[in-house]
Amino acid sequence: MTTKDTSWQFSRAITRQPGKSIVAGLRAVDTGTPDLALMLRHHADYVAALRETGADVTVLPPLEDYPDAVFVEDTALCLPEGAVLMRPGAPSRLGEVAAMAPSLRPLFDDIRQIEGPGTIEGGDILTTGREVLVGQSARTNADGIAELAEILAGWDRPLREVRVPDGVLHFKTDCSLLDGETILATERLARSGCFEGYRVILTAQGEEAAANAIRFNDLVLMAAGFPGTAQRLRDAGYQLREIGNSECAKLDGGMSCLSLRF
């Protein structure tokens, strides 16, 4: 097991600009058509915040054939030991993985692939200093988790399976790592007891959509518009950067979905 906790320290990130096809992105509930121009501005703010921490941030061009391709997190799990290419549970997103692979190959000596038949998406994986938590969801099933567990066992990384609440897209829709021992989570997820042994900061009442944040080096990036949760994080001493997320939210996306971090 990795003893030194570097689970929130990164030297690189990979992002992808949204394209015109974003209007056809998957969504659980239709809350309106995403505005590409506004999403691009939010995306630029996001990239700028990552860069501000000193990281090398790649911005890949849009992939018009894949409307959800801006949500790169779902295509791979990146760890110091190597990268694992995922196998998305959403059929329309399967091809995004092959499109991401060439960007990862030069950066990792060890690249593995989830071959199937199981499915698993990066949004269901939370890496902490002590373990890799994987949520079983509508996108990530037991077979996908078992295949990942086998790979991680070879890297001496313990994997713990948890359940994602019904109606929640991904595990990390409802939680984020803030530091080696602290998790930001919704009450509905924390109630399951899956974070026992960690310090948990709950999102404020009615602000569940703030849970998908990221700790990236010295900054915590969170979606703008959740003042109660922002205050809790500031009070706990975190340096916050609030990023507009109105357009990604229409497609059930948040801060973690927009990058691969390693």
The residues of the shown chain that bind ligand CIR, judged by CB under 6 A, are: 25-27, 68, 71, 73-74, 90, 93, 122-123, 170, 172-173, 251-253, 256-257
The nearer residue to ligand CIR, 73 or 147, going by C-beta atoms, is 73
Residues 43, 78, 170, 248: which is the catalytic one?
170
* Sheet bearing 12-16, strands edge to edge: 56-60, 12-16, 260-261
* Smallest distance, ligand CIR to C-beta of residue 169, A: 6
Separation of first and last alpha carbons in the chain: 17
The nearer residue to ligand CIR, 69 or 194, going by C-beta atoms, is 69
Q: Cα Rg for the chain, rounded, in angstroms? A: 17
User: CA 10, CA 248: separation in Å to the nearest integer?
Assistant: 23
Residue 120 near residue 142, CB atoms below 8 Å: no
Name the residue with the smallest CB distance to ligand CIR. Answer: 123
Task: Mention every residue, 6+ apart, whose C-beta is less than 8 A from residue 110.
Answer: 81, 82, 83
**Residue 235: both structure tokens together:** 């009070």
Q: How far is CA 169 from the centre of its chain?
A: 12
The nearer residue to ligand CIR, 122 or 144, going by C-beta atoms, is 122
Residues 78, 175, 194, 257: which is the catalytic one?
257
The nearer residue to ligand CIR, 188 or 236, going by C-beta atoms, is 188
* Smallest distance, ligand CIR to C-beta of residue 44, A: 19
Residue 78 annotated to the active site: no
User: CA 247, CA 239: separation in Å to the nearest integer?
Assistant: 24
Residue 257 annotated to the active site: yes
* Smallest distance, ligand CIR to C-beta of residue 250, A: 9
* Smallest distance, ligand CIR to C-beta of residue 253, A: 4
Looking at the annotation, which residues are catalytic? 170, 257
